[in-house]
């Protein structure tokens, strides 16, 4: 397994977006070693100065980067969209960088590991030089952080998911649109609907990704394909319904699981209580369970509503509800946790 120089020269591509800014905050919080930092952004953000460890670093244009400067990058964290990743991530890799990409560009590429450190860290062990590593989809990351500890012991054969996804999953502009609609409602003004083409405030609607001929949208399909890839199992059955809800930055998911063997609520609770990246929040007496506001800004996936599922015979089914910060563990934090494995 390769090792990054310590400290490495780091580049963030998409530095002014919601995930890019969160990456910067997490690098500071976790005291990630950085020799030098290069920030890249869209043309409208060129020259924007972003504070980092007592300095202000100006955003640059990717197109203006000199070949010699490209060769200096040891670690490139991408969060600027599929098209830009497809064009530039291979260039950074070919010049010697380890690339962690947050878009969907490389998730189905068998030459690019798809990794959540709590789920399949062994996928990183074969990397012995510059490479592209893909961050999974946010809803998949949050689900598998919680479910993989159960899968390792009980063998998940089927997972039915309903996701309630925040505006953050569609980027900073979508978050701003939701906030603007709240202000417009209070002022009795027309709503701005440029991002989603509909009222978002006080509404729930099907996830805005493209729908295929089978009736499933891309977000729903990712839960199946990415789970199978990271679990290295084509037999696990997954079906999902993904919707947008008017919360800002933490996704929620209701999961129904079918196991290979009988289990109990006590065993499931014990497994979850020991799982890295999971915090059980399940207080029936006070009706206190995971909520997006509790998860926002945190690193853990909150899990509650833990109960057996009577629709699955022989005590082989369970249901749970989780919330996790989509910008952090669903994107920025996961990318940096991957990078930390190479220090």
Integer Cα distance of 266 and 284 in angstroms: 15
SS3 88: helix
Integer Cα distance of 219 and 14 in angstroms: 22
Show which residues are catalytic.
138, 251
Nearest partner of 88 among 57, 63, 115, 114, judged by Cα: 63
Integer Cα distance of 211 and 206 in angstroms: 10
Q: Which residues pair with 96 in a beta bridge?
A: none
Integer Cα distance of 35 and 106 in angstroms: 28
| Alpha-carbon distances of 99 from 3, 18, 92, 130, 239, rounded to whole Å | 13, 19, 7, 8, 31
Nearest partner of 138 among 246, 251, 49, judged by Cα: 251
Nearest partner of 103 among 117, 87, 92, 118, judged by Cα: 87
To which residue do tokens 């260039």 refer?
Answer: 91
């Amino acid at each position: 397994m390769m090792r990054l120089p310590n400290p490495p020269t780091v580049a963030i591509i998409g530095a002014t977006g919601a995930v890019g800014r969160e990456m910067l905050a997490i690098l500071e919080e976790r005291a990630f070693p950085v020799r030098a930092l290069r920030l890249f952004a869209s043309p409208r953000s060129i020259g924007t100065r972003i504070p980092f460890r007592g300095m202000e670093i100006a955003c640059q244009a990717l197109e203006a980067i000199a070949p010699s400067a490209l060769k200096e990058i040891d670690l490139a964290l991408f969060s600027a969209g599929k098209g830009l990743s497809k064009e530039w991530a291979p260039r950074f890799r070919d010049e010697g960088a380890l690339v962690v990409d947050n878009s969907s560009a490389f998730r189905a590429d068998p030459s690019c590991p798809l990794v959540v450190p709590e789920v399949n860290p062994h996928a990183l062990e074969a990397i012995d030089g510059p490479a592209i590593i893909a961050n999974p989809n946010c809803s998949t990351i949050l689900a598998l952080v919680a479910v993989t500890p159960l899968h390792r012991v009980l063998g998940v054969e089927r997972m039915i998911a309903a996701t309630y996804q925040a505006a953050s999953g569609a980027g900073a502009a979508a978050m701003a649109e939701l906030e603007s609609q709240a202000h417009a409602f209070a002022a009795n003004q027309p709503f701005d609907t440029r991002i989603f083409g509909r009222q978002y405030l006080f509404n729930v609607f099907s996830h805005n990704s493209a729908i295929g001929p089978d009736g499933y949208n891309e977000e729903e399909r990712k839960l199946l394909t990415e789970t199978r890839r990271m679990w290295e199992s084509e037999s696990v059955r997954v079906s999902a319904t993904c919707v947008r809800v008017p919360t800002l930055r933490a996704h929620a998911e209701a999961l129904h699981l079918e196991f290979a063997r009988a289990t109990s609520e006590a065993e499931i609770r014990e497994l979850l209580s020991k799982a890295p990246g999971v915090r059980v929040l399940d207080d029936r007496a006070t009706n206190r369970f995971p909520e997006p506001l509790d998860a926002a800004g945190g690193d853990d996936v909150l899990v509650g509503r833990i109960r057996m599922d009577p629709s699955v015979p022989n005590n082989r089914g369970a249901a749970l509800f989780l919330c996790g910060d989509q910008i952090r563990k669903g994107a920025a934090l996961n990318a940096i946790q991957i990078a930390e494995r190479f220090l």
